[in-house]
Chains A and B, each alone.
Chain A
């Protein structure tokens, strides 16, 4: 399990550009590259392309580490965003097969696929807040309607664009765009209301 606090410390040390930066960056790479490679591989499909993405993404993380907000608490999410964006770019420039076997699997069992992507089980070292947040996110995802959930997962996990989603789901582009936006907004509202319910 990646420890956000430790990862954040390594990221800040990387950004410092001093004698310890190269070591911090190496440890950051050692700890995060397996999960980030997994993310890239699900989007680009092919192993060698995924490694290319990993290289480019870490080169970018090194360059822009200073722009990571020291007050932010989601360093892994921040790095995952860099990897996903790079993977999406590489995917579109390499004409990766549009619908991989993952997607077929997802069509049959969208919720099972969510379980494979995310770790919902509480880790022993999780604090109470994290445990609750993970549970909320899971509950809220399951409350979305099936079409919204499926488009979010396809976009998030496999990097499908609006138009690819439209083609794959055989729905008009505008409909798919609405699903994505509404799905993300409902997800946020749902988690927010869980949060405010918990603080009352």
Chain B
């Protein structure tokens, strides 16, 4: 029988609120709450009439481990914006580009045969701002970035190029002072660059990210052609 039509509905709501509705009776009530709009409405009404405010005096600070367990148990990372997709990045991009001063953080350009194969087109949110094409040499040892217009990092900044592998790893490829750059690909990344995924460029403190992960805004992203 439905609970919503019973004369005891009000009594049940009251007992539920005060906490004396127990065991099977409470489970029945909670099922009805989910299935019978009238029950939910009535309880909401009770809650609006008898709504105590809790005082600061009863607060207790939980230990940080409670949140860490929740995060892990519920797999919350699935419901978080990836750092390279946040809207704020694109606003910061405009600021970073405007603030760019002529100072090149030294990066030794590899003196090798020019790379020939374009492997990725990196774009920002506004394609008119700047685009970067990444070219990889046939042997996979040299990567070259070509920007559609000159962009040079400010005195306290570097650009860092990241490889976002198809299995979700984020690996640093190079730290550069300008978006027109040529450098040697680290040995351990040479084969991985051909496995797909994406390239991304973030703005970092001079010398690159201190943490090994992107700490500043990501300004350009593009898929790797395989």
Q: Which of B19, B20, B34, B49 contacts A67 (CB 8 A)?
A: B34
User: How many residues in B have their beta carbons less than 8 Å from beta carbons of A?
Assistant: 46
Contacts of B85 in A (CB 8 A): 19
Q: Provide the bound-state CA to CA distance between A17 and B78, in Å.
A: 9
Contacts of B48 in A (CB 8 A): 72-74
CB <8 Å contact, A188 and B19: no
Contacts of B10 in A (CB 8 A): 185, 188
Report A186 CB to chain B, min CB distance, Å: 10
Interface size grouping (class) on chain A: 35 or more
Q: Count how many pairs of residues, one from A and one from B, have CB atoms less than 8 Å apart in the complex.
A: 157
Q: Do most interface residues of chain B lie in helix, strand or loop, or is the interface mixed?
A: helix
CB <8 Å contact, B11 and A35: no
Report A114 CB to chain B, min CB distance, Å: 9
A49 close to chain B: CB less than 8 A? no
CB <8 Å contact, B76 and A54: no
CB <8 Å contact, B74 and A62: yes
B156 close to chain A: CB less than 8 A? no
Report B46 CB to chain A, min CB distance, Å: 7
Chain B residues close to A by CB (< 8 Å): 10-11, 14-20, 22, 26, 34, 40, 44, 46-63, 65-67, 69-70, 73-74, 76-81, 85
Chain A residues close to B by CB (< 8 Å): 1-2, 17-23, 25-26, 29, 33-35, 37-39, 41-42, 47, 50-51, 54-55, 58-59, 62, 67, 69, 71-74, 76-78, 80-81, 84-85, 88, 92, 116-119, 123, 130, 133-134, 137, 152, 155-156, 159, 161-162, 165, 177, 180-181, 184-185, 187-188, 191-192, 195
